[in-house]
Amino acid sequence: MSDATERPVDDRAEPDAWEKACAEDLAAEKARRRQQYGPPPGSAAEELRKLVDAVADKVSGIELPLAGMAAQGAVRHLITQAKNAVEPVIERNPEVFDHLAAAGSELLAAYRSAVENQERRWTKGADGESGSKGEGEGGGTERIDLD
């Protein structure tokens, strides 16, 4: 041990000490975020299951007059059938719902982009700048007779 930074090798040290420390830090950070923001959202399949349950609970909680009791029974039956049809699909293919959720997000982003581009074109004047054309340039307001 000629160098001051050299230390004797400790055979008792854990070989995965760094991995263990990182895992502990990650668990602590996840717990802190869960406490601050609540539980993270589940997968798309879990969220769909929660939605179906919430709708079923809401529908079954609606009080209708006696004339509507038959309709309420029919609605409950329909909700139960839908729930029974959706549940096996969710169980067999949970990743499909994640893909559908991602595809929906991409479609929404594409729609927003198209709308923003179209709005930009609508608001540009003849010279390419924003705003409307002046009266002398053939722009301005035009009266529309609705009669």
User: What is the per-residue pLDDT across 127-140, written as a single tens digit (0 to 9) for each?
Assistant: 555 554 444 455 56
The two tokens of residue 55 are 């709708």
Confidence band (pLDDT; 50, 70, 90) for 80? confident
Whose tokens are 């307001």? That residue is 141
Higher pLDDT, 75 or 107: 107
Neighbours of 49 (CB within 10 A): 19
Neighbours of 46 (CB within 10 A): 13
Whose tokens are 């709005």? That residue is 119
Q: Which residues contact 8 (CB under 8 A, 6 or more apart)?
A: 1
